[in-house]
Every structure is written in C-alpha cells, then in structure tokens.
Amino acid sequence: MSPLSLDLSPDLFPALTEAQADPDGPGAHRPALHFGDRSLTYGELAATASPLAARVAEAGRIAVWATPTLETAVAVVAALLAGVPAVPLNPKSGESELGHIVSDSAPTLVLAAPGTQLPPALAALERLDIDTSAPTTSLPSPGAPDPESPALIVYTSGTTGPPKGAVIPRRAIATTLDALADAWQWTGDDVLVHGLPLFHVHGLILGILGPLRRGGSVRHLGRFETAGVARELSEGATMLFGVPTMYHRIAETLPDDPALAKALARARLLVSGSAALPVHDHERIAQATGRRVIERYGMTETLMNTSVRADGEPRAGTVGVPLPGVELRLTEEDGTTAVEAYDGETVGEIQVRGPNLFTEYLNRPEATAAAFTEDGWFRTGDMAVRDPDGYVRIVGRKATDLIKSGGYKIGAGEIENALLEHPGVREAAVTGEPDADLGERIVAWIVPADPQSPPTVDELADHVARRLAPHKRPRVVHHLDALPRNDMGKIMKRALTHD
C-alpha cells in the first residue's frame, strides 16, 4: 500500500477553482461533464455553478431532484461550492418515501431541471430551476467551508423502518476520492463512462464528483445501455463504473457483440461495486475481452473501504485491500475481539475506521451510537475472510433482512410495512432470493385478507413502487395460509421456502 497524504483542504475541485481564476486559460476549456449531447467545460461549469452557489448560499439545506442529467451535477457542485448540504432525491421515489425524506431532512429549497414536474410531497418547498443554458461570468465562491461540515445527506435503507439520512462531510468525499485516485492511478486524463443513478454514493460521489476532483471528465449515459458503453469506450473513455447487474448484462451481450468486446478491451479500468460480481460474470468478461473487472467495496456510511488496485493482482471474488487511510479489521461474534487470521477461512464482521466515514445519521443519535463500537470502529454488518496477502473476500451479511437488488440496498422491513398497508394483505414477510441479473430479487410472502381473491403480484408491485420506489417492488409473491412463527411469535424467515 502506498502512503497517502490526506488533503483536508476545503477546495474539493481544484480544476474548477483554476478555471474560475483564469477563465481564458487552457484549464477552463477542458471538458468536465457530458450528458448525451449536452456538455460543460470547466470554465462553463464554474460560470454556471457559481451564480447558483451564490443563490443557495443562505439556504440551510437544499434538496436536489436528482434526475440523471447535467442539471443534477451542476446543482450538487453549486451546493458544494456554497458549503450548503444537499439531499439528492430519487426522482422515482414514491409518496411515502419522499414524504419521509423531506420531513426528516427539512430542506428549504428544491433544485430541479426547468420543466420537470415535481410531486405533491415537494409542493411546500420553494423551487429553484437549475439553468445550465446561459453561463455568465463566474462569481467568486463563498468562503471556504470547514472540512467537517456536511456536504451531502444520502438516504440509505436499514433492516426495519424508513431510510436513514447518512450525513457525509466534505472531508470524507475528498479523502475517499483521493484514496481511489491512488489505488486506480486515476488522473485528470481519465474519461469516465457510466449510467448510474445520481442519488447514491456510487453514481454521484464516485461517478460525478470523482472525475471533477481529478480535473478529468465524465460521460453519463442517461440510462445504462451496453450500446452506450461500447460507443463511449471506443471514442476515448478510459474507465467504466457499474453495479454487477450492469456487468452481468454486458457479459450476456458480449457473445453477440464484437464491438462491445473491442471497446471494453481498450478501457484502462473496468470497476464494479455496490454488490458482489459473481465469478462467472468476471470470467465471461475476461474471456471475451482479455480484460479483468476489478471490484471495490464501499457503503453509503463509509464511502470506499477497499479495492483491487490498478497496480495489484486482479482476483475475482475479492474486493481487494484496504484503501490508503482506511483501517479495516474483522471481529468475532462479540463485535469487539479482533480476528487475527489471514487464512482465507476465518470469518468475521468487517469494521472500519478512517477519514472516509460519515458523521452521523441525521436526527438518529441512537442509530448512530449503535453503528459504532466504543473505540470508534464502524460496524458494517458485512462478513468476510482475508487471504494471506490481505485481500478481503466478502462472504455474506450479518442481517438477512437486508437485500441487495440491482446494487440497491433494500430493507425487508420497509417493504413489509408497505405491504401491510394494502387492504388485501393480512400478514407479510419479505426475503431476497438469488437472481442472475439483479443479484437478489425481492420475494413477498403474504397471508391474504381474503384467500378467495388474493392481491396479484402486479397489484402489490405497483402498490410498493408508488409508496416507496420501483426498485423496492416485489418480483415474486407467494400466498400462504399463515406465516411460520416461533413460540415467541417471531416470523421464521428461514422456513420460508417454495415448497
């Protein structure tokens, strides 16, 4: 592992500052953001984001309607320039999820692309349109914010209850992006392509703020499609970020798409994260392209913890080694005794400590306290072993009530609560089961209120999608006469099987 000097300076985007200071200099003409045929250079981004920063500077906290567009990137950059915390909102969130996030985070303003219709849950908020069309002269940025101050509040699911807002300070963003730059030899010459959503850490922090911190550029696909990946990689993009579902779809397409294989073979780095990439997909991609996908491991609360390094040995099925600055340990069942073994066999819970960590769950001091050990280690809930040379292999999760589907973390409890609000459902339990495309798919086990006319899978999927979000909808529904319960009345999820 190479040493890393932690840059805690409040300037998150030196290339943007330079373009602002010298609008006619070469740095100002470098490309920064591309979304389809719309793009901004660093000079244009500075000129667009800085007046917006001035307009939001007095807002306590802002929400950003995080469509996969240029507007979202500009709005988040403006918030960071202003030192105002931003809450990215999933534009597909349903009414109850959105209502919760808005009342919990209490933004004073919502920033959205002009012409976008916002749902009733946001009606009480003042709206500010993000204008990317008419860059004016760049204004000086407001004073340099404290590195510990909150930059983003990202909502993430737990096993029960509604999502919690992870408060991510500027310091964590700067240090995680610099640690990745070290691990991946990521520079301003890199051009990243991806089609990830912009309301989570992966797509927003790594996928938009990452290239901007390096002074490089990103080409966002709007939505993920293998054709877009092939096009951008054959036209100069150097890196691809994706969740395993995206790499699975690439692996499925490769046998019939030599242009995609050729494009992937040219890439400098193919990175997968947010969930485990099955070894079978690793191997299919390696065979068709001669290139190995590398994995990194992170979490909303911790940003990035480990990665296979660009100068290290790629090893399918592992998430590599701890990033510079990140302390990682495995612990025994008690959550405090460290596992010393590096034997590829002894399983422990991953705990991490370092400047990459979040500060707290917004308005949830008890949940925050429970997430850390007394000496400040964050309990990830992920179970792993370590190879003799330190490579980490994730082998499972502590909580079976957390489902990863398409790279999204989904709590069984929130779906159960939503299902119970449907008049046709008397009892509900939710589990995840293996799915070749999504990693895991959501399965609902329900006791219908009227066994003669149980609600259909489509009815329940629509109900959950409308309330929570489409990616939280059940894909399979089983009807039961009763849920299996133990003597205490607790549902025995392990007894829920097909037959």
Residues that bind ligand MCA (CB under 6 A): 92, 196-197, 200-203, 224, 243, 245-246, 273-274, 298-300, 406-408, 461-462, 465, 470-471, 473
Whose Cβ is closer to ligand MCA: residue 203's or residue 455's? 203
Find the shortest distance in angstroms from Cβ 397 to ligand AMP: 6
The position carrying tokens 């390094």 is 309
Query: What residues numbered 84-103 form the site for ligand AMP, per CB under 6 A?
Result: none
Q: Does 241 bind ligand AMP (CB under 6 A)?
A: no
Find the shortest distance in angstroms from Cβ 303 to ligand AMP: 9
How far is 48 from 135, CA to CA, in rounded Å?
5
Find the shortest distance in angstroms from Cβ 202 to ligand AMP: 8
The position carrying tokens 């003042």 is 126
DSSP state of 25: S
Find the shortest distance in angstroms from Cβ 470 to ligand MCA: 3
Q: Residue from 300, 351, 356, 417 that binds ligand AMP (CB under 6 A)?
A: 300
Q: Which does 196 bind (CB under 5 to 8 A by kind): ligand AMP, ligand MCA, none?
A: ligand MCA
How far is 240 from 193, CA to CA, in rounded Å?
5
Find the shortest distance in angstroms from Cβ 407 to ligand MCA: 4
Q: Residue from 47, 79, 233, 275 that binds ligand AMP (CB under 6 A)?
A: 275
User: DSSP of 331-343, one letter per residue?
Assistant: E-TTSSSBP---S
Whose Cβ is closer to ligand AMP: residue 85's or residue 298's? 298
Q: Which residue is nearest to ligand MCA (CB)?
A: 406
Query: Which residues, listed in sequence order, are joined to residue 329 by a DSSP beta bridge?
Result: 351
- The residue among 364, 410, 299 whose CA lies nearest residue 165 is 364
Whose Cβ is closer to ligand MCA: residue 67's or residue 141's? 67
Determine how β-strand 360-361 pairs with β-strand 164-169.
antiparallel
Q: Does 298 bind ligand AMP (CB under 6 A)?
A: yes
Q: Residue from 297, 358, 391, 445 that binds ligand AMP (CB under 6 A)?
A: 297
Q: Residue from 192, 299, 330, 428 that binds ligand AMP (CB under 6 A)?
A: 299
Q: Residue from 61, 194, 309, 409 that binds ligand AMP (CB under 6 A)?
A: 409
- Continuous H helices in 394-435: 412-420
Q: Which does 419 bind (CB under 5 to 8 A by kind): ligand MCA, ligand AMP, none?
A: none
Under DSSP, is residue 32 helix (H, G, I), strand (E, B) or coil?
A: strand
The position carrying tokens 């499609």 is 225
How far is 238 from 226, CA to CA, in rounded Å?
16
Q: Does 156 bind ligand AMP (CB under 6 A)?
A: yes
Find the shortest distance in angstroms from Cβ 485 to ligand AMP: 28
Take residue 487 and report the two structure tokens written for it: 């003597």
Q: Residue from 41, 48, 72, 380 that binds ligand AMP (CB under 6 A)?
A: 380
Q: Does 295 bind ligand AMP (CB under 6 A)?
A: yes
Q: Which residue is nearest to ligand AMP (CB)?
A: 409
Name all contacts of 251-260 with Cβ < 8 Å and 24+ positions apart. 251/280, 251/281, 251/284, 251/285, 251/288, 253/226, 254/284, 254/285, 254/288, 254/289, 255/288, 257/226, 257/230, 259/230, 259/234, 260/226, 260/227, 260/229, 260/230
Find the shortest distance in angstroms from Cβ 299 to ligand AMP: 4
CB atoms within 10 A of CB 287: 12
CB atoms within 10 A of CB 44: 21
Whose Cβ is closer to ligand AMP: residue 175's or residue 380's? 380
Q: Does 382 bind ligand AMP (CB under 6 A)?
A: yes
Give one word for 396, left, alpha or beta, with left for phi > 0 and alpha for psi -120 to 50. left
Find the shortest distance in angstroms from Cβ 29 to ligand AMP: 36
Candidate ranges 34-42, 102-110, 291-299, 475-483; the one touching ligand AMP (CB under 6 A): 291-299
User: Apex CA 358: angle with CA 155 and CA 10, to 5°?
Assistant: 110
What sign results for the dihedral spanned by CA atoms 177, 179, 180, 184? Answer: positive
How many CA atoms lie within 13 Å of 247's alpha carbon, on the beta-carbon side? Answer: 32
Whose Cβ is closer to ligand MCA: residue 18's or residue 440's? 440
Q: Does 276 bind ligand AMP (CB under 6 A)?
A: yes
Give the binding site for ligand AMP (CB under 6 A). Answer: 156, 201, 273-276, 295, 297-300, 319, 380, 382, 394, 397, 404, 409
